[in-house]
Amino acid sequence: MDTWAGQLQAQWPLLAIGSGCLVVGVFCWQLAGIAKAYSETSKVENRISQLEKRLDSVISARNAADEASATARSLLKLRPPASQTRLLAEIAKITPSGSWSVMQWQQPGPETLEITLKGSALDAAAVVNAWEQSPLMQDVTPISSNRPDELVLRARLTPAAETAE
């Protein structure tokens, strides 16, 4: 046993240096892993900031497009539902035949039309029914007139977006 202990004691400095090198090697390996993780984290954060800049520009463009779309929709609402000539042609086409003429044409609002028809034997129910069938008019109602040969009608004009469908 003396020889084994003697050999161990003779090799002690070499074992200490080897163990120290092993500990330093493990420490350096761990340190290299930490440095690599830090480097990868830095790269990922840099990439994220680049993508956020791109995403911010996309979001800004999307918001601007949404605002422009809302502005366009609000401006389109200002359009009359149908042109005067189209309405007049539609009324001439759908009003039951007979001897009648348009005496007064009013559009008190962009979606309301009031027309005074003059003629003999005007059937208010038939005219209202015919106008209700039109895709350009809704909620047609007769309004009382002071004269028996006149028929005053009020209709709500169908918005342009609804007639396009």
For residue 164, what pLDDT is reported?
Answer: 44
Q: pLDDT tens digits for 109-122? A: 878 889 999 888 78
For residue 119, what pLDDT is reported?
Answer: 84
For residue 4, what pLDDT is reported?
Answer: 73
CATH code for residues 84-164 = 3.30.1360.100
For residue 129, is pLDDT > 70? yes
Give the pair of three-digit tokens for residue 145: 């007139």
pLDDT-derived band at 163, boundaries 50, 70, 90: very low
Domain positions in the chain = 1-78, 84-164
